[in-house]
Amino acid sequence: MSEHDDALLLAALAGLVPDAEPAADARGRMRAALMAKVSKPAPTTHVLRADEGEWKPLLPGIHIKTLRIDREKGTQTTLWRVDPGARVPPHPHSHEEECLVIEGSIIQNGIEYLPGDYLLADAGEKHAPFDSPRGALFLIRGELVPDVSVLKRLG
């Protein structure tokens, strides 16, 4: 910035300064409002890197990694790695379930779903089995399964 620009900036800022100091009660309200804004914690982004977290066996040829659990809503977000030839057995849902195929493919009711395909199962729906002849990686957001042994008994 040039000296001329500095002078213009200072003149503009000077025009923002009131002629008289605000009353004590107004200063107190302004200070409280300002402190409330600056004391709020900044929004946080929770990150789980690809090499973090634990892949846990669920069924033969199927491992899951939990990304997020929301106990208040009774939901969880998980990654599922399915080996070639593995099957997810039929199972019911009390919540809606979202599935996004990331790699490979899955087959349900004779229809093959490929990377980028998104499936939404309504609450109360009973899934037909998922097969993965070539293997797959998919993201599931659905109901919180309190104990993976529930799904293991279905297999």
The pLDDT value given to residue 75? 92
User: In which residue are the tokens 């969880």 written?
Assistant: 76
pLDDT tens-digit series, residues 36-61: 777 777 778 888 898 999 999 999 99
The lowest-confidence range among 14-28, 36-50, 141-155 is 141-155
Rounded (to 5) percent helix, strand, coil in the chain: 20, 35, 40
Amino acid found at 54: E
At residue 146's C-alpha, the angle toward residues 145 and 147, to 5°, is 95
Q: 63, exposed or middle or buried, with CB in 10 Å at 0-12, 13-18, 19+?
A: middle
pLDDT tens-digit series, residues 62-81: 999 999 999 999 899 999 99
Distance (Å) of CA 81 to CA 66, 69, 104, 106, 147: 12, 18, 10, 11, 18
Contacts of 61 (CB under 8 A, 6+ apart): 82, 83, 84, 85, 86, 87
Domain ranges in the chain are 3-39, 56-154
pLDDT tens-digit series, residues 86-129: 999 998 888 899 999 999 999 999 999 999 999 999 988 888 89
Q: Which option is the CATH number for 56-154: 2.40.30.10, 3.20.20.70, 1.10.1040.10, 2.60.120.10?
A: 2.60.120.10
Q: Look up the pTM and report it.
A: 0.67
Contacts of 57 (CB under 8 A, 6+ apart): 63
Cα 11 to Cα 13: distance, rounded to the nearest angstrom: 5
